């Protein structure tokens, strides 16, 4: 190799090792950055120059980002934080009207920001709006609709719901000669402001003749003020010889009046009733579908990436579904800084999806974030090797330079 070739090769080697050290420095500085994917700078041979006496090769670096490497997931306790376990990226945009370039990130550490309409929206820690699909009034999500920023303060107080279905089961003592009372709480119709009141539906079970396996159920309702109203409906219930419910085959319906003059037709499922002897009468299960009015108590994501609004009355509603994006070759995404990436054709086909099943290959872990994939021990070991390689290239360059100066001074 000529002196000039040695100069070129060693200079190229120093430039390459300098780039590797730059990548190591970037990885180390992001060791605590949520959602950061580390760089690997690999070395490859390149043709330096060709002469009549041979071909001389050099070296340069090829950057590879380990986009498919899963970071450790840690809990944050913040119900709006999310971690992706598996493939996929959160979809974000710096502008509220989505007029800027769409970004993709694994950083699920969230914050909030006012949108152009004055409402509060979910953002990444970098301030980019996190996108998803809005749910309808029934909590259903249509993923064919356009993506929108996820609004945090969209939920209104929840109006109460009148009870119109009851499922009740208990055991009534066989051969009993006494009445037995059971109570179920029911809710009245809500007023114009959505407020309603609790009532008690009392079912009085009166036994027939001993051995007849028949009972007559009468009903009364007790209002919030303690006033009791007897209802005209009654139900004849019979049991088989094995103490199992037999008739009526159709569920009875009673009309419960309320103090405001309205009423509710309530269907009662009694098919779980039994009539065993040797035991007292006791309730085993009850469920009614009404509930009181409630205010928003908390907003958080669930395991499916659904933004849930929880109410003080124990109810919850889906408000938004976070959108995830996946690519054929995610390592070819363009680095946009701050753990965000932009799309380019080399990344392959874009696929927007949601988490539908807990057994999917990708899962959302709420109140958690994915940490950086940087391994400090590996980075420092690579730093030592790189520094020695740089020092070796510098020595070759210095020696070649000295040889060249000596040659030019010869007479």
Q: Which two tokens stand for residue 179?
A: 């009445």
**Number of helices (H) and strands (E), helices first, in the chain?**
2, 28
Q: Phi, psi (5° rounding) for residue 145?
A: -80, 160
Q: Averaging pLDDT over each range in 57-66, 271-280, 286-295, which range is the top one? A: 286-295
Q: Give the burial class of 290: count Cβ atoms within 10 A of its Cβ; 0-12 exposed, 13-18 middle, 19 or more buried.
A: buried
Binned at pLDDT 50, 70 and 90, residue 47 comes out as low
Boundary residue ending a domain (288, 305, 329): 288
Helix/strand/coil for 178:
coil
User: What CATH number is given to the structural domain containing 278?
Assistant: 2.60.98.20
Looking at the structure, tell me whether residues 97 and 201 fall in a common domain. Answer: no
Give residue 285's pLDDT.
95
| Residue 20 located in a structural domain | yes
Give residue 56's pLDDT.
54
Looking at the structure, tell me whether residues 366 and 394 fall in a common domain. Answer: no
Mean of pLDDT values over 277-301: 92
| Residue 310 located in a structural domain | no
Give residue 18's pLDDT.
73
| Residue 316 located in a structural domain | no
Q: What is the Cα–Cα distance from 126 to 36, expressed in whole angstroms?
A: 13
Q: Could you list the residue range(s) of the whole structural domain that residue 344 is in?
A: 74-153+321-370
Q: Give the burial class of 133: count Cβ atoms within 10 A of its Cβ; 0-12 exposed, 13-18 middle, 19 or more buried.
A: buried
Partners of 103 in the β-ladder: 92
Contact 266, 187 (CB under 8 A): no
Looking at the structure, tell me whether residues 170 and 269 fall in a common domain. Answer: yes
Using omega within 30 degrees of 0 as the cis cutoff, is the peptide bond preceding 248 cis? yes
| Residue 171 located in a structural domain | yes
């Amino acid at each position: 190799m000529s002196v000039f070739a040695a100069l070129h090769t060693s200079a190229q080697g120093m430039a390459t090792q300098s780039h590797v050290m730059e990548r190591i420095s970037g990885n180390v500085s992001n060791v605590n950055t949520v959602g950061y994917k580390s760089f690997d700078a690999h070395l490859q041979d390149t043709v330096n120059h060709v002469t009549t006496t041979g071909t001389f090769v050099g070296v340069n670096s090829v950057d590879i980002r380990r986009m498919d490497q899963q970071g450790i997931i840690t809990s944050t306790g913040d119900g709006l934080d999310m971690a992706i376990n598996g493939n996929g990226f959160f979809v974000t945009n710096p502008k509220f009207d989505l007029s800027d370039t769409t970004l993709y990130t694994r950083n699920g550490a969230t914050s909030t920001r006012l949108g152009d309409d004055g409402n509060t929206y979910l953002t990444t820690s970098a301030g980019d709006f996190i996108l998803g699909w809005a749910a309808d009034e029934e909590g259903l999500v249509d993923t064919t609709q356009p993506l929108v920023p996820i609004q945090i303060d969209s939920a209104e107080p929840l109006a109460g719901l009148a009870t119109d279905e009851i499922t009740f089961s208990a055991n009534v003592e066989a051969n009993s000669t006494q009445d037995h009372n059971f109570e179920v709480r029911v809710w009245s119709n809500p007023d114009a402001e959505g407020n309603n009141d609790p009532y008690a539906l009392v079912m009085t079970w009166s036994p027939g003749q001993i051995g007849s396996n028949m009972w007559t159920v009468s009903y009364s309702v007790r209002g919030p003020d303690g006033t009791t109203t007897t209802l005209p409906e009654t139900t004849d219930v019979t049991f088989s010889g094995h103490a199992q419910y037999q008739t009526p085959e159709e569920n009875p319906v009673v009309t419960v009046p309320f103090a405001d003059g309205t009423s509710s037709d309530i269907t009662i499922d009694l098919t779980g009733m039994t009539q065993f002897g040797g035991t007292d009468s006791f309730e085993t299960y009850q469920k009614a579908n009404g509930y009181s009015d409630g205010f928003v108590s908390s907003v958080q994501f669930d395991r499916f990436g659904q933004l849930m609004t929880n109410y003080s009355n124990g109810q919850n509603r889906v408000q938004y579904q976070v959108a995830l994006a996946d690519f054929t070759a995610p390592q070819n995404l363009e680095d946009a800084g701050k753990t965000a990436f932009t799309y380019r054709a080399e990344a392959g086909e874009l696929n927007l999806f949601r988490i539908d099943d807990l057994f999917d290959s990708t899962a959302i872990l709420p109140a958690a974030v994915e940490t950086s994939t940087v391994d400090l021990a590996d980075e420092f070991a690579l730093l030592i090797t790189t520094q020695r390689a740089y020092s070796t290239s510098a020595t070759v360059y210095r020696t070649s330079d000295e040889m060249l100066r000596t040659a030019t001074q010869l007479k």
